[in-house]
């Protein structure tokens, strides 16, 4: 495989994105965009108690943006909300085997999408 500037892990998540799709009647939805490059990420959460039991995403963006979204859903599934909120963009990038410097913002976008989705959940629950 021609790897180019991306790690094998990034390319794997780009080619075989985990949890791509949407959750009907999601408990929390977060959509964020990066005006610099036009990427848009949308994260859907299914939450039972305070645990994320399912997460799906849809992303308009580059390879790093798709891989970051995919990895984020993998990292947060099964975690409590607080545990998920403690996952930083660096952790997403690290789990992907690193991102090129200009692509670090893709992992930031994923972290932001997660925060917005959890905020949305809290708002719906009257906790926001």
Residues near other proteins (CB under 8 A) are 1-2, 4-5, 14-15, 17, 20, 22, 31, 35-42, 58-66, 100-105
Torsion region of 78: left, alpha or beta (phi above 0 gives left; psi -120 to 50 gives alpha):
left
Q: Which of 20, 23, 29, 37 is catalytic?
A: 37
Taking the C-alpha atoms of residue 14 and residue 65, their distance in angstroms, rounded to an integer, is 9
- Output the smallest distance, CB 111 to other proteins, in A: 15
Spatial contact of 44 and 55, defined as CB atoms under 8 Å apart: yes
**What angle (nearest 5°) sits at the alpha carbon of residue 120, between those of residues 116 and 121?**
120
CB of 36 to other proteins, least distance (A): 5
Would residue 37 show up in a list of annotated catalytic residues for this protein?
yes
Considering 106, 109, 110, 117, which one is annotated as catalytic? 106
Nearest approach, Cβ of residue 42 and other proteins (Å): 4
Query: Which residues participate in catalysis according to the annotation?
Result: 37, 106
């Amino acid at each position: 495989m021609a790897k180019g500037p991306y790690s094998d892990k990034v390319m794997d998540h780009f080619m075989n994105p985990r949890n791509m799709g949407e959750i009907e009647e999601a408990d929390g939805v977060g959509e964020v965009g990066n005006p610099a490059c036009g990427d848009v990420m949308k994260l859907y959460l299914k939450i039972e108690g305070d645990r994320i039991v399912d997460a799906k995403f849809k992303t308009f963006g580059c390879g790093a943006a798709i891989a970051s979204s995919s990895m984020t859903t993998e990292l947060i599934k099964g975690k409590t909300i607080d545990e998920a909120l403690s996952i930083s963009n660096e952790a997403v990038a690290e789990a992907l085997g690193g991102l090129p410097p200009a692509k670090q913002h893709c992992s930031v976008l994923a972290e932001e999408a997660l925060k917005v989705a959890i905020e949305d959940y809290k708002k719906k629950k009257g906790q926001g």
